[in-house]
Structure 1
């Protein structure tokens, strides 16, 4: 679909309540392939590429990821949706829920970022060329959970290879969301915050902030998992999302041992 001087790529399948999957930084809709296939028989599932990632176009001027998501939903005539976001995708889901509470059925935030939180590590890898930056980025500890499984790491490497590097190499004209962390108390959607036991400390801090400040939020810790939950523990992640959208996630308790 065309929007704001460019285009946004999406996949959609199935019928029923809408379930929208939002990917993490340097990744794209392929992150969700297994969950997309699992849920398409019971939900209208949407997986899209955020602006500047995957098959969506680069920013050509000021833009808002929140507005991009709204336009995808409008294009598909989706009035309300369950939003599931990983990392950057969780950040976008939170921002969308703050701006359009009436359009969010629930939030499931996996290893989420949040606007206004300052991470202890640099998201911009060093390197004299884009290829060098991609290589250094793949050494980041956020990928440790998939690194031990060559097939999964190849999937991640393929997505990173297709990433344009725009957000590393250009001044990103994205709308600021640094006030989001102070506005979490305004969120009204039922929310499940999820973090892998072995995820980086920053993501555990963010998970606790989200769980503490969002009124209807509960926190689940997935034993033995790292950051890329949709790839590392496909069955556990799928089951957790299924319980979340059904409203049966146990609020405020960690996931049961052995769920990975």
Structure 2
């Protein structure tokens, strides 16, 4: 197994997935969960301490390989942002391997984002390779207005800086996603699912949560005063909601 991972605690396995960051994304949540569970946090291919890809990237199959390597037959998945998108796709493809699914402000493959979001992403990409400028533009997005005013802003900036540096190392590869995309298959999601999102997240991310509300049996919980980085700013509230859900 060439992916970097960390294991802490004992008990039922819980795997933490993130998107545009690394294991530091779980700095405050993982220690709380490790009191009662075996917590596995890992860096996706091309992020954190994991190697850059040399061929097209399939995050779902990478996760499957990690579980096989750790000899885990079934686990709870907790995915944040793009990590939530990957966790959803994994649960659709390998439902027998997922005991419960917990999504924190997840992405959703096939979802059509707003023109405002696409415009913001275009400006960020046009600022490349000036990473400081790219981060400045990204943190202007409404989905980060709470974390940027919190004591965790520096950690957020450090993770983004590292992640963007790593992205520039990638060769010309593609991300291999679920086909058909998850947005067309939410009705097939049989895993018991909890979706948590900050009320101050962006309109697009709130629309994703609402799509889950309408097209799946997911339980939706909104955290007041939290934005997209609810895992950094509200770890205790997350922990409480997660443990109640897992112990049901």
Q: TM-score, normalised by structure 1?
A: 0.86
Secondary structure of 2:28 counterpart: helix
Q: Which moved more, 1:90-99 or 1:237-246?
A: 237-246
Counterpart pick for 1:180 among 175, 182, 196: 182
2:200 aligned with 1:198: yes
Q: Which moved more, 1:163-172 or 1:114-123?
A: 163-172
How far does the alpha carbon of each residue in 1:97-119 deviate from its partner, in whole angstroms, 9 at most, with x for none?
01100000011111111100022
Structure 2 residue aligned with 1:65: 59
Structure 2 residue aligned with 1:78: 72
Q: Take 1:202 and 1:137, find their aligned partners in 2: how far apart are those partners?
A: 15
CA offset at residue 220 of structure 1?
0.9
Which residues of 2 match residues 1-260 of structure 1 at below 5 A? 1-2=1-2, 8-25=3-20, 27-120=21-114, 121-122=117-118, 123=121, 125=124, 126-131=126-131, 132-149=133-150, 151-163=151-163, 164=165, 166=167, 171-177=172-178, 179-214=181-216, 216-247=217-248
CA offset at residue 171 of structure 1?
4.5
Secondary structure of 2:35 counterpart: coil
Q: Identify unmatched segments of 5+ residues in structure 2.
A: none
CA offset at residue 130 of structure 1?
4.1
CA offset at residue 42 of structure 1?
1.1
Q: Identify unmatched segments of 5+ residues in structure 1.
A: 3-7, 248-260
Q: Take 2:199 and 2:22, find their aligned partners in 1: how far apart are those partners?
A: 24
Confirm or deny: 8 A CA contact 2:106 2:205 kept in the other structure. yes
Confirm or deny: 8 A CA contact 1:105 1:190 kept in the other structure. yes
Q: Take 1:129 and 1:139, find their aligned partners in 2: how far apart are those partners?
A: 18
Q: Relative contact order: is structure 1 or structure 2 higher (C-alpha 8 Å, sep ≥ 6)?
A: 2
Q: CA 1:23 to 1:176, structure 2 compared with 1: closer, same or farther past 3 Å?
A: closer
Give the alignment's Cα RMSD to 1 decimal: 1.9
CA offset at residue 62 of structure 1?
1.3
Q: TM-score, normalised by structure 2?
A: 0.90
Secondary structure of 1:21 counterpart: strand
Confirm or deny: 8 A CA contact 2:53 2:170 kept in the other structure. no
Secondary structure of 2:145 counterpart: helix
Q: Take 1:135 and 1:54, find their aligned partners in 2: how far apart are those partners?
A: 21
